[in-house]
Amino acid sequence: MNFKRLFYTLSLLAAVSCSWFGGKKAEVAPPAEAEPEVLEAPSPLGFSPDTLVCKSGTVGNGDNFTALFTRLGVSSQDTYSLVQACDTVFDVRKLVAGKAWDAYYPDSTATSPLYVVYHNSQVKETVFRCTDSLQVYAVYKPVEVLEKSADVTIVTSLWNDLIEEGASPYLILELADIYAWTVDFFGLRTGDRFRVLYREKMCEGQSVGLDRVEYAEFLRDSTVLKAVYFDQGDGGNRYWNDNGESMQKAFLKAPLKFTRISSGFSYHRLHPVHGTVRAHTGVDYAAPTGTPVMSIGDGTVISVGWGGGGGNTVKIRHNSVYTTAYLHLSKYAKGLKTGQLVRQGEVIGYVGMTGTATGPHLDFRVWKNGSPINPLKLESPPAEPVKPENRKILDSLVQNRQERLKKSLSLQNIN
């Protein structure tokens, strides 16, 4: 007889009897649930910075890649290997003084980092893995695009007033480009007003650029100059007024950005150097040495060279009617030569004080049919209008964005 099996059967019957005669069923404990596995969210950097000791700093003046990494504790052999690993990810020659870096060490006593993170910009970082399999890779932070609006009335300057309203500096530059052919930004008056609907790129709560201006209005007295974004898909103009005309004209209003007029067009100006009354058939724009100077329109360079009292000078013929000149340049654009075709907005030189000058500035001159004219009164015909088949679309966009701007500004005032 199998005593082992008999013992098992009697034990089972006893358990059932106790359950039956005791008036309740035997409770069977459920199997213990396994503890849920807690997974740490992966770091965007590709490693866990919280487990390491971080030392931070900035690239010093005169620092190169080798000097920086050697100072952080990376061996010369590993530094050389990292340079080779950079390939197309990072150009070691473009290490910028003042840019921040973070070096991560295994503990506070370690002298060699496991990782070094170089902050290229607000959006991009380059990670250098300095141990085991050396590696270099780029990390991009998420960027979101938000629709915003601004309504600013000029009191001191467009720059100061927009910044005071909390607008991004990128918006100012974009407005200057959109209205470059219709608004004289050197002649803005107190009371002039800009109303703008725009899309801004944001990263970690900070502005990192403008996606685009959707719609804008420049108001002066009873005049309203509207500009709306519309891409026809032909690679051409993208900003139009409400009449379907391109915001881009044949000429820019000025050959450089954000300066002041230090001397205007006059036939009776007291010369600041010679002390005599002489004609000044141009406009002087005061600007720091090195400020880029642009051609105000498409044309052909007819001379590049010394212009006596005008110093380094570039002359451009735009058509059979108009010619422009740019005087006192510190230097010319690289490779610029007589006979070269230039495009509107192309840099042809840089502000300086060559020739007879008391300070860095651009002397800008315009001739119409061979006679000097005041550049500030230069009239410019519009470029090609929007395609006829797109006119209704443009009209609808203007109305839609006007309403969106009005609604956005109303909500902004409530908040």
Whether residue 266 contacts residue 278, with contact meaning beta carbons closer than 8 Å, is answered with no
Q: Where are the domains of the chain?
A: 49-140, 142-249+384-415, 260-377
Average pLDDT over residues 68-84: 94
Across the chain, what does the average pLDDT equal? 85
pLDDT at 182 over 90: no
- Output the pLDDT for position 132: 84
User: What is the distance between the alpha carbons of residues 365 and 265, in angstroms, rounded to a whole number?
Assistant: 9
Instruction: Give exposure, 291-330, as e/b (b: 16+ Cβ within 10 Å).
Output: bbbbbbbbbebeebeebeebbbbbbbebeeebbbbbbbbb
Element (H, E) at 294: strand 292-294
Say which residue, 138 or 415, is predicted with more confidence: 138
What angle (nearest 5°) sits at the alpha carbon of residue 57, between those of residues 56 and 63? 140
pLDDT at 299 over 70: yes
pLDDT at 274 over 50: no
pLDDT at 54 over 80: yes
- Output the pLDDT for position 223: 94
Q: Which CATH number fits domain 49-140: 3.30.300.180, 3.10.450.350, 2.40.40.20, 1.20.1630.10?
A: 3.10.450.350
pTM score over 0.85? no
Whether residue 301 contacts residue 359, with contact meaning beta carbons closer than 8 Å, is answered with no
- Is the fold of 49-140 the same as that of 260-377? no
CATH architecture of 142-249+384-415: Roll (3.10)
- Output the pLDDT for position 113: 96
- Output the pLDDT for position 32: 45
Q: How many CB atoms are located within 10 Å of the residue 109 CB?
A: 7
- Could you tell me where the DSSP H helices lie in 209-358? none
Element (H, E) at 107: none
Q: Which CATH number fits domain 260-377: 2.30.42.10, 3.40.50.10320, 2.60.40.10, 2.70.70.10?
A: 2.70.70.10
- Output the pLDDT for position 258: 60
pLDDT at 405 over 80: yes
